[in-house]
C-alpha cells in the first residue's frame, strides 16, 4: 500500500438532499469510525464483518450529531484497496459538513479531488484508462457517452493496449536474445517476419485512431451550427430545440449579432448547438463581424443546420452559404412552410445535393423528421457509434499516434536493411508510449494533473 494517511471527503453534492455521504479511506479508517460512531447494539466496529451496514449515531463530545448508517468495507476488496467506510447521514449541508469535520478532528486528512480513485490506481486495482473512465462517467451527458465510459471502465481499452504491447515486447525480447546469443538465435530474414507483425499492430492502432473523431463527439457533443440568411428562423429554431426563449427573435433581419451556444440532448446524442448571425452582404460594422463569426463557426462544425425560408426566394446569399458548407455534414431545413411557399424541395435540390426537410418552427411541424435525420447521420448511418470501443480521450489519441510513428520507423529501418538493434529502439518507444495509456511509467505530474480534474469525494 502506497499511502499511509487516512483521507476523507464529502462524496455527495453540497446541496440539501435526502442523504449525504462522508467517505473515509486508509489505515486509520476503522479506528476513526469506532471513536465517533455508536452502533445501536453496541457492537465493536473493529470486529464486525466486512461489507456490512450498521445503524447508529455519530457522537461528538458526548452529543448525538445525527442518526446514520455506516457501511464498513475492509481492505483489499474496496474502491481504494484500503479500508473504506461510508457514513450515510441526513443530506443537509450543515449536518454533512459537521460529520466531515468530526472525521477530520479524529485523524483523517481532507482528500484532494479524485484522491480515492488515485489510490485505486496507485494500489493497482484499476489502470489509468479506467481511472479516467470514472471521471468520464461522472461527466457523461448522453447515453452513448455513458456507454463508452463504462466500457472503458470495464477495461476494454486496457485489454486492447495490453494485447498490442505483448506482441511488441515479444519482438524486443527476441532481438535482445539474438544480440546476446548470435550463435544460437538466428535473425536471418527476421525483418520479413517482423514487418508482418508490425503491419498488423499498425492496422489495429489505426482502427482505434479512426474512432477518435467520433470519440470526441461522443464525449464533448456534436458541434452543431445553425446557419442561414437573416430572418429565416434560426434563433426561433434554437429556442424550440432548447424548449426556452434563449435567443432574441424579432421580424427584423439581422437580429442575432453574435454566436450563442447551448447544449441539448437529442435521442442518445448530445448536440452543442450554436445560433449564428444571419449571413448576408452588409456594410454594418457590427453585423459584418457577426457574419465572419458565423462563417468561422461553420468551418469548425461537425454538423451544419442550414435553414432556408420557404417564403422568400433563394438569392446570392444562399449561394454564398452553400459554398461555405460544401465539405460539411449538413441538414437543410426548409422553414416557414406554414406560409405561402416560393421555394420548394426541388429548388433546394437544384442548388445543394441534399434532401431538405420541410418544417415550420411556428407550428412546430417537422421536428420529428429532423431528429430522425440526426440519428441516421450520427447513430445508425455514416458514422455509427455502436462499434466496440472509441478513443474518447485526447491523451490516449496522442499516445496512439506516437506509437504509430515509432512503428513506422521500425518498418523504415527494416526496409533500409539496418541492423536489428535499430528496430528494438523504436519498438521500445512504441511499447512505452502505449504503456502511458494504461498508466505504466507515467510521471507523477501527469498522474496528479489527471486526478486534479476529478470532483471532490471521488
Determine the Cα–Cα distance for residues 430 and 325; give it in Å rounded to an integer. 39
Binding test (CB under 6 A) with ligand GTP, winner from 212, 360, 393, 413: 360
- Provide the minimum distance between the beta carbon of 361 and Mg ion in the complex, in angstroms, as a whole number: 12
For Mg ion, the closer CB: 235 or 413: 235
For ligand GTP, the closer CB: 280 or 396: 280
Q: Is the dihedral of CA 376, 379, 381, 382 positive or negative?
A: positive
**Residue 114 found at the interface with ligand GTP (CB under 6 A):** no
**Residue 44 found at the interface with ligand GTP (CB under 6 A):** no
C-beta separation of 99 from 65 below 8 A = yes
Span of 62-70, 118-126, 244-252, 342-350 interacting with ligand GTP by CB under 6 A: 244-252
Question: What does the block give as the cell for 85?
Answer: 467506510
Could you tell which of Mg ion, ligand GTP, none binds residue 360, using a CB distance below 5 to 8 A set by kind? ligand GTP
**HSE, side-chain direction, 13 A CA sphere, residue 458:** 19
Instruction: Pick out residues in 211-230 that bind ligand GTP (CB under 6 A).
Output: 228, 230
Question: What does the block give as the cell for 3?
Answer: 499511502
Which of 8, 209, 139, 131 has its CA nearest to residue 446?
131
Span of 245-253, 341-349, 375-383, 437-445 interacting with ligand GTP by CB under 6 A: 245-253
Q: Would you give the binding string for ligand GTP spanning residues 320-359, x where CB under 6 A is met?
A: ---------------xx-xx--------------------
Binding test (CB under 6 A) with ligand GTP, winner from 31, 255, 267, 345: 255
DSSP letter at 360 equals B
| Matching residue, cell 480515492 | 116
**Residue 251 found at the interface with ligand GTP (CB under 6 A):** yes
**Residue 249 found at the interface with ligand GTP (CB under 6 A):** yes
**Residue 272 found at the interface with ligand GTP (CB under 6 A):** no
Question: What does the block give as the cell for 150?
Answer: 463504462
**Residue 256 found at the interface with ligand GTP (CB under 6 A):** yes
Phi-psi region of 42 (alpha: psi -120 to 50; beta: other; left: phi over 0): left
Binding test (CB under 6 A) with ligand GTP, winner from 1, 14, 253, 289: 253
Could you tell which of ligand GTP, Mg ion, none binds residue 221, using a CB distance below 5 to 8 A set by kind? none
Could you tell which of Mg ion, ligand GTP, none binds residue 339, using a CB distance below 5 to 8 A set by kind? ligand GTP
Could you tell which of Mg ion, ligand GTP, none binds residue 230, using a CB distance below 5 to 8 A set by kind? ligand GTP
Determine the Cα–Cα distance for residues 138 and 345; give it in Å rounded to an integer. 44
What contacts 233, CB < 8 A, 6 or more positions away?
307, 309, 335, 336, 361, 362
What contacts 367, CB < 8 A, 6 or more positions away?
240, 241, 359
**Residue 362 found at the interface with ligand GTP (CB under 6 A):** yes
Could you tell which of ligand GTP, Mg ion, none binds residue 327, using a CB distance below 5 to 8 A set by kind? none
Number of Cβ within a 10 Å radius of residue 288: 14
**HSE, side-chain direction, 13 A CA sphere, residue 261:** 13
Number of Cβ within a 10 Å radius of residue 299: 13
C-beta separation of 21 from 4 below 8 A = no
- Provide the minimum distance between the beta carbon of 312 and Mg ion in the complex, in angstroms, as a whole number: 15
The H or E element that residue 194 is part of is helix 190-210
Peptide bond into 46 cis (omega under 30): no
**Residue 294 found at the interface with ligand GTP (CB under 6 A):** no
- Provide the minimum distance between the beta carbon of 238 and Mg ion in the complex, in angstroms, as a whole number: 8
Determine the Cα–Cα distance for residues 193 and 198; give it in Å rounded to an integer. 9
Could you tell which of ligand GTP, Mg ion, none binds residue 338, using a CB distance below 5 to 8 A set by kind? ligand GTP
Q: Is the dihedral of CA 242, 247, 252, 255 positive or negative?
A: negative
For ligand GTP, the closer CB: 111 or 334: 334
**Residue 235 found at the interface with ligand GTP (CB under 6 A):** yes
**Residue 361 found at the interface with ligand GTP (CB under 6 A):** yes
**Residue 20 found at the interface with ligand GTP (CB under 6 A):** no
**Residue 436 found at the interface with ligand GTP (CB under 6 A):** no
Binding test (CB under 6 A) with ligand GTP, winner from 278, 356, 439, 457: 278
For ligand GTP, the closer CB: 171 or 280: 280
What contacts 64, CB < 8 A, 6 or more positions away?
57, 58
Which residues sit at the interface with Mg ion, rule CB under 5 A? 234-235, 255-256
For Mg ion, the closer CB: 147 or 320: 320
Helix (H, G, I), strand (E, B) or coil at 359: coil
Question: What does the block give as the cell for 388?
Answer: 466496440
List residues near ligand GTP by CB under 6 A. Answer: 228, 230-236, 249-251, 253-256, 277-278, 335-336, 338-339, 360-362
Amino acid at each position: 500500500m502506497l499511502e499511509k494517511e487516512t483521507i476523507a471527503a464529502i462524496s455527495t453534492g453540497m446541496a440539501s438532499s435526502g442523504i449525504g455521504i462522508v467517505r473515509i479511506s486508509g489505515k486509520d479508517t476503522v479506528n476513526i469510525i469506532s471513536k465517533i460512531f455508536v452502533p445501536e447494539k453496541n457492537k465493536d466496529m473493529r470486529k464486525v464483518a466486512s461489507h456490512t451496514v450498521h445503524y447508529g449515531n455519530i457522537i461528538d463530545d458526548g452529543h448525538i450529531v445525527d442518526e446514520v448508517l455506516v457501511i464498513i468495507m475492509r481492505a483489499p476488496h474496496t474502491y481504494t484497496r484500503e479500508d473504506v467506510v461510508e457514513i450515510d447521514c441526513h443530506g443537509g449541508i450543515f449536518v454533512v459538513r459537521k460529520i466531515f469535520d468530526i472525521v477530520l478532528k479524529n485523524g483523517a486528512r481532507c482528500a484532494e479531488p479524485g484522491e480515492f480513485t488515485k489510490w485505486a490506481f496507485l494500489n493497482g486495482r484499476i489502470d489509468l484508462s479506467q481511472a479516467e473512465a470514472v471521471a468520464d462517467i461522472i461527466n457523461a451527458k448522453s447515453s452513448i457517452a455513458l456507454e463508452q465510459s463504462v466500457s472503458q471502465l470495464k477495461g476494454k481499452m486496457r485489454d486492447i493496449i495490453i494485447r498490442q504491447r505483448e506482441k511488441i515486447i515479444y519482438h524486443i525480447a527476441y532481438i535482445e536474445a539474438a544480440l546476446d546469443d548470435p550463435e544460437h538465435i538466428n535473425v536471418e530474414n527476421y525483418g520479413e517476419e517482423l514487418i508482418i507483425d508490425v503491419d498488423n499492430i499498425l492496422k489495429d492502432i489505426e482502427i482505434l485512431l479512426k474512432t477518435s473523431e467520433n470519440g470526441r463527439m461522443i464525449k464533448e457533443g456534436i458541434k452543431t451550427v445553425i446557419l442561414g440568411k437573416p430572418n429565416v428562423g434560426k434563433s426561433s429554431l434554437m429556442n424550440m430545440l432548447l424548449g426556452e426563449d434563449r435567443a432574441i427573435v424579432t421580424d427584423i433581419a439581422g437580429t442575432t449579432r453574435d454566436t450563442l451556444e447551448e447544449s441539448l440532448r437529442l435521442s442518445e446524442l448530445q448536440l452543442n448547438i450554436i445560433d449564428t448571425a444571419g449571413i448576408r452582404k452588409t456594410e454594418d460594422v457590427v453585423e459584418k463581424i457577426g457574419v465572419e463569426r458565423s462563417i468561422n463557426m461553420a468551418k469548425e462544425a461537425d454538423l451544419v443546420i442550414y435553414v432556408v425560408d420557404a417564403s422568400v426566394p433563394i438569392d446570392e446569399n444562399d449561394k454564398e452559404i452553400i459554398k461555405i458548407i460544401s465539405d460539411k455534414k449538413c441538414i437543410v431545413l426548409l422553414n416557414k412552410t406554414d406560409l405561402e411557399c416560393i421555394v420548394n424541395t426541388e429548388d433546394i435540390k437544384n442548388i445543394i445535393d441534399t434532401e431538405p426537410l420541410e418544417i415550420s418552427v411556428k407550428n412546430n411541424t417537422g421536428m420529428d423528421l429532423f431528429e430522425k435525420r440526426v440519428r441516421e447521420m450520427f447513430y445508425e448511418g455514416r458514422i455509427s457509434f455502436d462499434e466496440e470501443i472509441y478513443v474518447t480521450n485526447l491523451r490516449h489519441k496522442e499516445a496512439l499516434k506516437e506509437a504509430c510513428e515509432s512503428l513506422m520507423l521500425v518498418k523504415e529501418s527494416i526496409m533500409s536493411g539496418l541492423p536489428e538493434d535499430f528496430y528494438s529502439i523504436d519498438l521500445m518507444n512504441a511499447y512505452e508510449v502505449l504503456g502511458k495509456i494504461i498508466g505504466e511509467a507515467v510521471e507523477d505530474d501527469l498522474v496528479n494533473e489527471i486526478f486534479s480534474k476529478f470532483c471532490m469525494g471521488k
